[in-house]
Structure 1
Amino acid sequence: MDDTVTSDQGHPPHAGAEGGGLSTRLNWLRAGVLGANDGIVSTAGLVVGVAGATDSHTALLASGLAGLLAGSLSMASGEYVSVSTQRDSEQAALATERRELAEQPDYELDELTGLLVDRGISRELAREVAEQLTERDALSAHAQVELGINPEEIVNPWHAAWASCISFTVGALLPLLAIVLPPVSLRVPVTVVAVLCALVITGWVGARLGGSPVGRSVLRNVVGGGLAMAVTYLAGTLLGAAGV
């Protein structure tokens, strides 16, 4: 908000909306990458564990599909509940702000001025900017400056649920196909290689989107996924050998 007011006092809400829109899209993309990563790791661990216990194509396919469906539906429902809670909180805050603007506009104008002053703007300029913002869209101005909410970008729980479901499913399909398509002797090696390559990609993309060190992110991804497959494969092999 500070940079927006300094550079273009007449159009801060519009500029902020554009920045917020880009930030929102990046957050959705990052969430999609993380969802796909979850699908890869969880399904890979499941099918590799089953492959350690049995060579049955039917058992591998059934367990993989069960893991894919359970994981994608769980991700979707969890995201729906989480985002619905966030949406309810944001709408309640906006309703309160809307009521306060209607009941005590002078106080709200003083409050907005004070918030701008707290951000380093002189009181005279802050008052002028607050008045212009209030004339243009009082609710949007207060929501963005006071609450950190863009009223035009309230999150949609259904969008979040579908995004999580689809991203998890896409990620889960890789280990599922890698375990059921190759010959029996190559199932586990092909799956491990395919999964580790995919984790390198998701780790790299996630790091780039989040602005974090690429090497550390990729290493963490690969080690975590590799460890998950190793543990489940060992468990499956022991259970298979025990005839469980």
Structure 2
Amino acid sequence: MVQPHPENHLVARIGWLRAAVLGANDGIISTASLMLGVAAVSSTGEVVVAGLAALVAGAMSMAAGEYVSVSSQADTENADLDRERRELAENPKFEEKELAQIYVGRGVEPQLALQVARQLMAKDALGAHARDELGISEAVAANPVQAAFASAASFASGAAPPLATAAIAPRELQAALICGVSLALLAVLGAIGARAGGASMLKPALRVAFWGALAMAVTAGVGALVGRTI
């Protein structure tokens, strides 16, 4: 008899990892970019206030947006599950054959596929159909509250270092230090996200740093341009 052994699959991290990486990345880029834009024409105090406002507003916006988005996904999943539950109650034999056909399409012999479908449905009919017909499982099911908290917390944690840098940096070095710290953090974030997802770290780190640098450069340029004309 084969002894079971615990396995930790990376797909189980998809729900929180996506929200966390997106939130932290957005926190760094949007807060640093806003402060660089303000720094082009304002004092240190105004830059810090702008950064603090960006942190609070961004965290709340990320939480609300993520909650609404993932709630919509959860509503769709629940609607599909409700329909599947009704179909199982009304016509279980058809659903059994439907599940067997899915396994046949994956390469299982028809007779064996029917036996597998029958045994799985005897244990958890809805779970079997949710997983193999609808593609819904516990690992990837939408969790709005988890996604909202992860997004808000990660946005705030990403926004905090550029904000702290702006608060303690000398005025003449403020913009350069905000930019340097933010780019370093973005590269580290890209590497960590890739590592947590089991992918190579170098390419994601460079990609995240490049787009962050572009966002900060554009925002700083717009801030300087507008500041001269107002």
Please report the TM-score for the alignment, with normalisation by the length of structure 2: 0.89
Give the Å deviation of 1:156.
2.4
1:144-159 matches, within 5 Å, as 144-150=131-137, 154-159=141-146
CA distance in 2, matches of 1:175, 1:189: 11
The answer to whether the Cα contact below 8 Å between 2:60 and 2:152 also exists between their aligned partners in 1 is yes
Q: What is the aligned partner in structure 1 of residue 189 from structure 2?
A: 202
Unaligned residue ranges in structure 2 (runs of 5+): none
Residues 14-45 of structure 1 deviation map (CA, whole Å, 9 limit, x = unaligned): x9xx77x7523244124312210111011100
Assess, with a 3 A threshold, how the Cα gap between structure 1 residues 140 and 151 changes in structure 2: closer, same or farther. Answer: farther
The aligned amino acid for 1:80 is Y
Q: CA deviation at 1:236?
A: 2.6
2:53 matched to 1:45? no
Q: Aligned pair 1:143/2:143, yes or no?
A: no
Counterpart among 23, 36, 40 of residue 11 in structure 2: 23
Q: Deviations over 1:152-195 (max 9, x none)?
A: 86422122111111111110111111111122122122211111
Per the alignment, in what secondary structure is the counterpart of residue 54 of structure 1? coil
Given that residues 79 and 164 in structure 1 are in contact (C-alpha distance below 8 angstroms), is that contact kept between their aligned partners in structure 2?
A: yes
Amino acid at match of 1:126: A
Give the aligned residue type for 1:28. W
| SS at structure 2 position matched to 1:40 | helix
Q: Give the structure 2 partner of residue 3 of structure 1.
A: none
Q: 1:152 to 1:29 in 2, by over 3 A?
A: closer
Alignment-mate amino acid for residue 24 of structure 1: A
Whether 1:168 and 2:155 are equivalent positions in the alignment is yes
Give SS of 1:138's match. helix
Give, in angstroms, the shift of residue 239 of structure 1: 3.7
User: Is structure 2 residue 22 aligned with structure 1 residue 34?
Assistant: yes
Q: Give the letter aligned to residue 38 of structure 1.
A: D
Answer yes or no: is 1:193 the counterpart of 2:180: yes
CA RMSD of aligned residues (A): 2.3
C-alpha contact (below 8 Å) 1:204/1:218 kept by paired residues: yes
Number of equivalences: 227
**C-alpha distance in 2, partners of 1:187/1:218?**
24
Task: Decide which moves more: 81-90 or 212-221.
Answer: 212-221
* CA gap 1:151/1:92 in 2 versus in 1, 3 angstroms: farther
Q: For residue 237 of structure 1, what is the aligned residue in structure 2?
A: 224
* Mapping of residues 19-98 of structure 1, within 5 Å: 22-57=10-45, 59-98=46-85
Q: Tell me the distance in 1 between the aligned counterparts of 2:181 and 2:139.
A: 41
**Separation (CA, whole Å) in 2 of partners of 1:211 and 1:77:** 29
SS, match of residue 169 in structure 2? coil
Question: CA offsets per residue over residues 200-242 of structure 1, 9 Å max, x none?
Answer: 1012123334455533322222222122222222333334444
